[in-house]
Amino acid sequence: MLAFRAAARPFASLIAGLITSSGRPAALAMAVAALSLLGNPAQAQAAQANWWESITGSGTPDYTGRRSEDGDRERAARQAEPLDDLRPDAMPMRSDEMIAAIDAAIAKYQQIADSGGWPVVPPGRMMREGEDDDRVPLLRRRLQMSGDMRTRNDGYNSYTFDGELTDAVKRYQRRNGLRPTGRVERSTYPALNMSVDQRIAQLRMNLGRIRELMANPVEERYVLVNVPAFQLEAVQKYEVQQRHRVIVGRTERQSPSVKATIRALNFFPYWRVPDSVAHLDLIPRLLKEPDYLQNEKIRVLDAAGVKEIDPQTVNWTAPEAQKLKFRQDPGPQNALGLVRIDMPNEHTVYMHDTPMKPLFAQRSRAFSAGCVRVEGVFNLVDWLAHYEQGWGEPGRAQQIVEAGQAVDVTLTRPVPVYFVYITAWAERDGDVEFRPDIYGRDGAVDQVAEMDRDPSEPAPAVTLAP
């Protein structure tokens, strides 16, 4: 069922929403034409030339004097090579096939343990192609034992880090959720030097988590978010039909494990700022930036969340300020983006779009305050609403956004959703995958700060968002 809400936003804001929501020529042409009708050809020309800069977090930051030549080359290589961190086939994480694959991985690793395990590669300075290092033979042996170095040269004791070893290191890094640089650097050593017994224990722990998910009958249609893998899978008839990269909660604002039901889709949503975000993030920020509320179109409401209050009349350092509520208007600046996926639960977390789309290019994506931001969310929305009247064909979500009309869709066929914490699994081809224990729930050292960080660029700023 579709319900329309009044979208009381200026026409220019609607145009900005169109520009932000789509890179498609049709949407851009609509926006430029509309601005021309407003009698401002210069503004229309600017929109056409720089429309991407209206997306929060986009643009070209100036790091003059901070980039090294090596950093420039690596950045160009990363941009040329698309992110490849999504699982490769249609086998669901929550399946008997996955249980069988993990059982086979445990058996393989147990054979390695019974033969004495793999060697430790002493941590130290970076190892990379073209350089000599006394540890290279150990590294080569380590990667042969885990199957990352496909050619076996047991008698080859060269100390030179060659191209074959670079490829093996990249393969290992991909399997461990690390940025595949081909260099053995600080972020690689902790994963590389986990013993085979520790890896077996990790596989067994995650096998137990998947068995627990399988304890109840598996629904024909559901969504599963694997938090430490930063990815979502939409499953129907026991096959994955879509996968999406996601942004999850940062270490101090963890995304919880959740079993809930997706019941509605909200286009052009308001964001009712949670009290925790208001107290920890919003009020401290507006004390430093008095215009922040106006710039971000955030309204101040009374303690009941009903009556609007002039922020100029509030003493933000007084205890009474902690009782106030905040609500952000719909639009391209909204922290929820252009659509929210409603899934009522005790943790009050949900899934949503985001204006901070450049963050999806990071391999480690723990940036939110607990909710889950979904890349390509309109495709997921089309899948969720597939059986709703008038939906059917893909692209309907995009059409609603381009129409600029606030719409609430109540699903007549609600979809179960799971937020889970799986840090080890196996694929049908025999590859064994591990991910850093970002929240310490496996009892391992938190490695999230070491993941996918280019030292020539600053870490992404923590934004005010769910």
Q: In sequence order, what are the beta bridge partners of 300? A: 309, 326
What angle separates helix 41-50 from helix 25-37, to the nearest 10 degrees?
Answer: 160
The predicted pLDDT at position 158 comes to 87
Q: Locate 337 and state its tokens.
A: 């983006």
Q: Locate 449 and state its tokens.
A: 């700060």
8 Å CB contact between 433 and 101: no
Tell the burial category of 170 from Cβ atoms under 10 Å away from its Cβ (0-12, 13-18, 19+): middle
The predicted pLDDT at position 143 comes to 96
How far apart, in Å, are the Cα atoms of 11 and each of 36, 97, 400, 422? 12, 52, 16, 45
- Report the relative pairing of strands 308-309 and 271-272 from DSSP bridges: unpaired
Check if 347 is active-site. Answer: no
Q: What percentage of the chain's residues is helix, strand, coil (to nearest 5)?
A: 35, 20, 45
Contacts of 112 (CB under 8 A, 6+ apart): 118, 145, 146, 196
Q: Locate 452 and state its tokens.
A: 């996918």
Which 3 state secondary structure label does DSSP give 101? helix
pLDDT, tens only, 223-256: 999 999 999 999 999 999 999 999 999 999 999 9
* pLDDT digits (tens), the chain, 466 positions: 777 665 544 333 443 444 334 444 334 444 434 434 344 444 444 343 332 233 333 222 332 333 344 445 545 544 445 688 999 889 999 999 999 999 999 999 999 999 999 999 999 999 999 999 999 999 999 999 999 998 766 546 789 999 999 999 999 999 999 999 999 999 999 999 999 999 999 999 999 999 999 998 999 999 999 999 999 999 999 999 999 999 999 999 999 999 999 999 999 999 999 888 899 889 999 899 989 999 899 999 999 989 999 999 999 999 999 999 999 999 888 999 999 999 999 999 999 999 999 999 999 999 999 999 999 999 999 999 999 998 977 899 999 999 998 999 999 999 999 999 999 999 999 999 999 999 999 986 545 545 555 554 455 555 667 7
8 Å CB contact between 177 and 451: yes
Q: How far apart are CA 357 and CA 336, in angstroms?
A: 12
8 Å CB contact between 62 and 445: no
Q: In sequence order, what are the beta bridge partners of 259? A: 418
Q: Residue 258: how many CB atoms within 10 A of its CB?
A: 18
Which residue's structure tokens are 């699994």? 425
Check if 352 is active-site. Answer: yes
Residue 460 Cα to chain centre, angstroms: 13
Q: Is 0.85 surpassed by the pTM of this model? A: no
Residue from 244, 279, 352, 386 carrying the catalytic annotation: 352
Q: Locate 131 and state its tokens.
A: 């350089």
User: Which residue ranges make up each domain of the chain?
Assistant: 118-194, 220-450
CATH topology classification for 220-450: L,D-transpeptidase catalytic domain-like (2.40.440)
Class of 118-194 per CATH?
mainly alpha
